[in-house]
Amino acid sequence: MKKTIGLLLGVLLTLVSAVSLAGCGSGVNYPTVKGKFTVATNCPFGMYEYIGDDGKIYGIDIEVAGLFAKEEGLELVVKNIEFDSIFSEVEAGKADAGMAGITVSEDRKKTFDFSDTYAKASQKLIVLDGNADFDGKTTAKAVEEALKGLSGKKIGFQTGTTGQMYINGDEGFGYDGFANIEGKGYDTAVTAIHDMKAGNIYAVVVDEGPASALVASIDGVKVIDVKLTDEDYAFLIKKGNAKLQEKFNAFLTKIKGDGTYAAIEAKYYEGKGEKTGYAVSTN
């Protein structure tokens, strides 16, 4: 009898342990909210996400998210928040993914998972039209040497972006930074550029994608057409959310293979095709 009870207890403990381990391995809910695919982003960011005249959100990231949600049979919910808050929103399980031209780094990989790369990126400088300090500088090294030769200058960036890491230095991103330059963070690159025009900072570092759109919409500024970094864009996913990561990677492979992704890019960079906008969540 004692032997039988002992065996039963052993089996019971084994089952409890198995359930507990399974629970630990699946500790990430997907979707975060039943029936919805929730995305955290930050507008404006060039052709990747912006608010249209109709109040809806448009962009390459957003259309990809919308198509993925449709394939999953889910409703797309888009939260437009500060860039820094995207990471805490995903980590806290309040959003399924972060999509805002997010650069993959070894440092970020310690805390988050990422989808496969869907676009390449780099940082570029935006300066006032009359700035001749970078004339003839055609390589990243030449521009960096010019930056190192500055004295008493401030350079702006959107807080939390790669531009901040590039100017201030970041071991996880592999950037040494510039000890001679004072970095200044802003909520958006647009705000930084207007502050530059007001004479408060010398230049702005911004991702290549939105840089061209920004100078086209703001008078008196220009882009230094030199790629300062080499980056990969991917979608941010909560650590351990293997289900979403696998599904999204399969989806990216599919839309890149059948031409859907190229068609989305053509809408925004070449004006080919009708753009699809989505409502911005007010919650």
Domain coordinates in residue numbering, the chain: 36-120+232-269, 123-229
Distance of CA 188 to CAs 44, 88, 185, 206, Å? 8, 18, 9, 10
Helix, strand counts (H, E) of the chain: 10, 14
Q: Using the predicted structure, report yes or no on whether residue 103 has a pLDDT greater than 60.
A: yes
Q: 29 pLDDT band (50/70/90 cuts)?
A: confident
Helix intervals (H) in 26-117: 60-72, 83-91, 106-109
Packing angle between helix 189-197 and helix 208-217, nearest 10 degrees? Answer: 50
Least confident of 25-29, 189-193, 242-246, 265-269: 25-29
Q: Give me the mean pLDDT over the 249-265 stretch.
A: 97
What rounded mean pLDDT belongs to the chain?
90
| CATH class of the domain whose range is 123-229 | alpha beta
Q: Using the predicted structure, report yes or no on whether residue 26 has a pLDDT greater than 60.
A: no
According to DSSP, the β-strands at 231-233 and 119-121 are antiparallel
Q: Using the predicted structure, report yes or no on whether residue 61 has a pLDDT greater than 60.
A: yes
Per-residue pLDDT reduced to its tens digit, 128-177: 999 999 999 999 999 999 999 999 999 999 999 999 999 999 988 889 99
What share of the chain in percent tops pLDDT 90?
A: 80
Task: Count the helix, strand and coil residues of the chain and give each as a percent rounded to the nearest 5.
Answer: 40, 25, 40
Q: Using the predicted structure, report yes or no on whether residue 3 has a pLDDT greater than 60.
A: no
Strand partners, 58: 50
Q: Using the predicted structure, report yes or no on whether residue 27 has a pLDDT greater than 90.
A: no
For residues 257, 263, 265, 266, the Cα torsion angle rounded to the nearest 10 degrees is 140
d(Cα 220, Cα 94) in Å, to the nearest integer? 40
pLDDT, residue 138, reads 97
| CATH class of the domain whose range is 36-120+232-269 | alpha beta
**Which has the closest alpha carbon to 77: 65, 92, 91?**
65
Verdict on whether the full-model pTM lies above 0.85: no
Domains 36-120+232-269 and 123-229 agree in fold: yes
